[in-house]
């Protein structure tokens, strides 16, 4: 039994030692025997996510234009709930439909216009942030997926959450409030 255990351990060590970094010291690129060189790797661009540059919508696609994409709620006490409504206008040429809106954490709940927003009309994304259990700088973000181009848009809230003045527990256990 011991012999089998030592043999298995030795085999595992040998495999580990030979499988690590097989190309160490081999810094040259092998030449192709067919004479065809491989093309350099190109980064893959996702057309659904807006990049750093200005995105021009395709044809008659709907466009979600927000008056503001970030709301600063300032400083609040822990346990308070902040609500803010982000208003947008469909500046495109076809009806805008929000498929989904999701938050970065469970403390943030988005509600959005569920009906199609006609060109030139306004719609809303209402965001409710519950600061219970949160402290310090907070920046909850809501990701909105719609039939726009790009189809993902983000709005966020930011601010500071101060701790409550009533301690929840001390060194000797929970604090009793009379």
Domains of the chain by residue range? 64-162
For range 111-136, the mean pLDDT: 94
For residues 77 and 159, the answer to whether their CB atoms sit within 8 Å is: no
pLDDT (tens digit per residue) in 60-91: 889 999 999 999 999 999 999 999 999 999 99
Give the global pTM. Answer: 0.60
* pLDDT band at residue 147 under the 50/70/90 scheme: very high
Number of H helices and E strands in the chain, helices first, is: 1, 11
CA–CA gap between residue 135 and residue 76 (Å, rounded): 10
**When comparing pLDDT for 38 and 148, which is higher?**
148
* pLDDT band at residue 33 under the 50/70/90 scheme: very low
User: Which CATH number is associated with domain 64-162?
Assistant: 2.60.40.10
């Amino acid at each position: 039994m011991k012999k089998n255990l030592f043999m298995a351990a030795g085999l595992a060590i040998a495999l580990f030692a030979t499988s690590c970094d097989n190309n160490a010291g081999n810094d040259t690129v092998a030449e192709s025997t067919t004479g065809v060189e491989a093309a350099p790797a190109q980064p893959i661009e996702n057309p659904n996510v807006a990049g750093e540059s200005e995105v021009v919508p395709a044809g008659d696609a709907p466009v979600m234009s927000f008056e503001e994409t970030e709301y600063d709620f300032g400083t609040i006490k822990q346990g308070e709930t902040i609500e803010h409504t982000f208003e947008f206008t469909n500046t495109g040429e076809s009806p805008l439909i929000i498929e989904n809106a999701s938050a970065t954490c469970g403390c943030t709940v988005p509600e959005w216009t569920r009906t199609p927003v006609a060109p030139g009309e306004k719609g809303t994304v209402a965001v409710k942030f519950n600061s219970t259990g949160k402290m310090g700088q907070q920046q909850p973000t809501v990701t909105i997926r719609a039939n726009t181009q790009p189809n993902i848009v983000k709005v966020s809230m930011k601010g500071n959450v101060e701790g409550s003045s009533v301690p929840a527990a001390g060194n000797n256990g929970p604090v009793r409030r009379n």
